[in-house]
Amino acid sequence: MDGESVDVAWVDAREANQQNWDDRVPLHQVAYGLEAFDEPSHLSDVVRADVPVLERFLPNGSLSGLDLCHLQCHIGTDTISLARAGARVTGVDFSEPALAAAADLARRTGVTATWVHTDVLDARAAVSGDFDVVYTSIGTICWLHDLDRWAEQVFGLLRDGGTFFIRDGHPALYALDENAPGLAIRYPYFGSGRAQQWDDESTYAGEGTVTHSRTYEWPHPLSEIIGALLRAGLRLVHFDEGRTLPWRFSPRMVEVPGGYAWPEAERDLVPTTYTIVAHKERA
């Protein structure tokens, strides 16, 4: 059954997930509309939404000239967009084909970027330098089993006074049955340490199917996410919840400016995203 809670070793789950994300690369190179990036001013929808929020919490109110590390960057569309917003960017991902696609897109569009192949949970050891900003957004930490280790990487990558930003799908959203005729809870909100097992040949974007369809995700309540960041030593400076998503989580969602949302009568009943901004205090 899709979404069934299972016991699986992290190394095995990670390998299955990596194979799945490797398979997604050629599909997403088509679905993401990469030709739009040939226009030098083009930014991804995700970055267009995130940057105005992030810049409110930066010392000079701008990404211009800042060193930024983008964790779980996939094929680099958001990373390149962040570079176009003014940052010096380093993209990190565990998929070599994804990073090859990202590097190709950067070369084609004349964007300077550094790409590092590593698991996000080992990022501090693999990435050289310290950063003014560590960024991650949309569909990221559900793939990780250990948020304390994740938050430690974020803290370690930031220089003193640096800023961490995350926007992602809301845990309350992920607890819902995406195929139900109404809002109905199907999956656990709170994590138990067990993974949710999925078998799906499609991806969230475009046509085509993957060869490796088995994936594993972990539910993380907001208390766990925020708690991990606080335990790592970061100071929370902003928290928000949203009503729209950049992908269609459920067939019942309707297209709205900025993405997709529940039908209007349900839109105020459950959040779809959360945003957190945190600072690393100066020593």
pLDDT number for residue 130: 97
Q: Percentage of the chain surpassing pLDDT 90?
A: 89
Q: Is the pLDDT of residue 201 over 90?
A: no
Least confident window among 131-145, 147-161, 194-208: 194-208
Predicted confidence (pLDDT) at residue 61 exceeds the cutoff of 90: yes
Q: If pLDDT is split at 50, 70 and 90, which confidence band does 71 have?
A: very high
Over 90: is that where the pLDDT of 207 sits?
no
Q: Identity (one letter) of the amino acid at 35? A: E
> Which strands make up the sheet holding 214-217, listed edge to edge?
4-6, 195-199, 214-217
Spell 170-192 as b/e; 16+ CB within 10 A means b.
Answer: bbbbbbbebeeeeeeeebbeebe
| pLDDT at residue 283 greater than cutoff 80 | no
The whole-chain average pLDDT of the chain stands at: 95
- Domain ranges for the chain, please list them: 4-279
Q: What is the reported pTM?
A: 0.96
Closest among 127, 26, 17, 9 to 70, alpha carbons compared: 127
For 147-206, the DSSP string reads HHHHHHHHHHHEEEEEEEEEEEE-HHHHTB-TTSSS--B-S-SS--SPEEEEE-S--SSS
pLDDT of residue 51: 98
Pick from 185, 135, 181, 187: nearest CA to 158:
135
Classify residue 52 by burial, with Cβ atoms within 10 Å: 0-12, 13-18, 19+: exposed
Q: pLDDT category, 175, cuts 50, 70, 90?
A: very high
pLDDT reported for residue 69:
98
Six-digit token string for 71: 């964790």
Q: What is the pLDDT of residues 102-150, one digit of tens each?
A: 999 999 999 999 999 999 999 999 999 999 999 999 999 999 999 999 9
Measured CA to CA, the distance from residue 69 to residue 76 in angstroms comes to 12
- Encoding tokens for residue 265? 């009568």
- According to DSSP, the residues that pair with 89 across neighbouring strands are 68, 113
What's residue 280's pLDDT? 98
Find the length of the chain.
Answer: 283
Mean pLDDT along residues 79-106? 98
pLDDT of residue 6: 95
Q: Per-residue pLDDT averaged across 72-97, rounded?
A: 98
Say what the pLDDT of residue 127 is.
Answer: 98
Percent of the chain at pLDDT exceeding 70: 100
Query: What stretch of H or E contains 249?
Result: none
Biggest CA–CA distance in the chain, Å, is: 52
Residue 157: burial class (beta carbons within 10 Å; 0-12, 13-18, 19+): buried
pLDDT tier for residue 1 given thresholds of 50, 70 and 90: low
What is the CATH T-level fold of the domain 4-279, as seen in this structure? Rossmann fold (3.40.50)
Mean pLDDT of 265-281: 97
CA–CA gap between residue 196 and residue 177 (Å, rounded): 14
Distance CA 220, CA 175 (A): 10
The residue-averaged pLDDT of 170-192 equals 96
Which residue has better confidence, 191 or 203? 191
Q: Which long-range contacts (CB under 8 A, 24 or more apart) does 98-103 make?
A: 98/21, 98/22, 98/24, 98/25, 98/73, 98/74, 99/73, 101/25, 101/29, 101/75, 101/76, 102/73, 102/74, 102/75, 102/76, 103/76
- Burial of residue 268, with CB atoms counted within 10 A of its CB: 0-12 exposed, 13-18 middle, 19 or more buried: exposed
